[in-house]
Chains A and B, each alone.
Chain A
Amino acid sequence: MKTDYDVIVVGAGPGGSFAAKAAAKGGASVLLIDRRKELGAPVRCGEGLGSHWLEELGLKISPKAISAEISGSVLYSPNLKREVKIQNQETKGYVIDRKVFDKDLAIDAGREGAEVIVKTEVYDVMKEGGKVCGVKAYRMGDKFEATCKVLIAADGGESTVARHAGINSTASLYDTDFGVEYEMVNVECEDLIEIYFSRSAAPRGYVWVFPKGKDVANVGVGIGGLEKGNAIEYLDKFIKSHERFKTAQTVAVKGGLIPVGEPLKDLVADGLMIVGTAAHQVDPIHGGGMALAMEAGGMAGEVAAKCIQEGNVGKQHLIEYDRKWRKKVEPKLMRRLRLRKVLEKLDDDDFNSIFENLSDVDLDSLIKGDYKQVVKKVLVKRPQLLKVLSALL
């Protein structure tokens, strides 16, 4: 087997496969490496994907990768007295089957010319004169080293590749949510993503029910890293306390960490690019990372191929990916980070009041990031929130 490539991508999740495909398309020789024996498993995700992304990413989802089609979402107040349904073009989406979806994306990368190897664990990064130049791995138990001009780290929340390369991408407890979910049968559901806000049920996070069929759903909870207890305790409590899950049976357990703070300060270094959850490119409100990873992966792969063709893979050239991403994506995420930091200061009474006093349209605006009008309306009824909410104005 070849041991020298233009681009090596570590991690064949959606971000890594997109990066590998884009780099191969740009003319680079690409090696895509994954630790697992089977891509997509174990799943660590709610599996929701907005359909607007298909066009934006040029993505085709095979029917086999779609578990359920979603028409919108429904948000519940902590006291469950108010439910807000949001159904519009932007809330349409899919709950996908990551085990099929991820593999499909790696297959796409392979078809584009990328070499793909699985069951290969990268345990260190090679450097020469400060520049990243390859990886050290165990491939099916045997030592395997390969060199490259550009290394793309797409290894998810563990983000060990970037850290081996000397970039501090360790997740902090404060800026990370920790989630666990059961895939359950005998859970009646509509074609709606259900979100339950409640500090007591899911402090600094939320409880979700993502339908995977008429009576199958991912039921999960995410909590802030500094909150009391562990996610599983909250999930078990929620399921026990709702009649709806009385006959529910668990067919899978999934979990993981969700960076919900700022994206990494540096997305590139000499010979290195970081994409997706490994770069903390995750929506700070809903914790979704798949689409953002694919978007960033595509950008990174394209820039990597271009820089290689031009013969410059230093940080000052790879930075084109960093700049492109920060221009297109980061402002929206930072806006939502501000909202997260406000929401985490509210208690359940505040949430109940907000739900009571806002119309469906108001709540939709809030989620979309139009804060001004909505905040004014909340303050009329709950002036004590002035200090907290002023951060949004």
Chain B
Amino acid sequence: MIKINRSRCIYCGACVGVCPVLALTLKETYVEYDKEKCINCGNCAKACPMKAIDFEK
């Protein structure tokens, strides 16, 4: 499970690029998260240059 802090996110898409299962979608001003697809790898939280994603196993 991840939690994206939308007020911290700069919608750069880094998390989308490293998500191996396309569980994240870059919208114009936010990132959409598909919990069903997520495999809990944590790549997105590690990648986020803004530290806007919280990751819980």
Contact = CB atoms under 8 A, between A and B. Distances in A.
Interface of A: 35-37, 42, 44, 119, 121, 123, 156-160, 163-164, 170-173, 176, 178-180, 225-226, 230-233, 253-257, 259
A27 B27 CA distance: 33
Contact of B17 (A42, A121, A157, A230): A157
Nearest to B31: A158
B17 A158 contact: yes
B26 A255 contact: no
Interface residues on B, range: 20 to 34
B47 interface: yes
Contact of A257 (B12, B25, B28): B12
B50 interface: yes
A265 B28 CA distance: 30
Query: At the interface, is chain B mostly helix, strand, loop or mixed?
Result: loop
Nearest to B48: A230
Contact of A170 (B10, B17, B48): B17
A123 B24 CA distance: 11
B12 to A, nearest CB: 4
Interface string B32-56: 0000000000010011111100000
Nearest to A228: B46
Q: Which 7 A-B pairs have the closest CB atoms?
A: A231-B49, A257-B14, A180-B49, A230-B51, A158-B16, A256-B12, A255-B49
Nearest to A278: B17
Nearest to A121: B27
Given A173-B47, A225-B46, A257 B13 contact: yes
A257 B10 contact: no
A255 B47 contact: no
Contacts of A172: 18
A160 B22 contact: yes
A333 to B, nearest CB: 19
B50 A159 contact: no
B50 A230 contact: yes
A35 B28 contact: yes
B51 A233 contact: yes
Given A35-B26, A225-B47, A256-B49, A42 B10 contact: yes
A167 B43 CA distance: 19
A180 B18 CA distance: 16
A32 B1 CA distance: 36
B19 interface: yes
A158 B26 contact: yes
B37 to A, nearest CB: 13
B48 A176 contact: no
24 contacts: A42-B12, A44-B13, A158-B13, A159-B17, A160-B16, A160-B26, A170-B19, A172-B18, A173-B47, A176-B47, A178-B48, A180-B49, A225-B18, A230-B49, A231-B49, A232-B49, A253-B50, A254-B12, A255-B10, A255-B12, A255-B49, A257-B12, A257-B17, A257-B47
Given A42-B12, A178-B48, 7 more contacts: A178-B49, A180-B10, A230-B48, A253-B10, A254-B12, A255-B12, A255-B49
Contacts of B20: 170
Contacts of B49: 178-180, 230-232, 255-257
Given A156-B13, A225-B46, A232-B50, A171 B27 contact: no
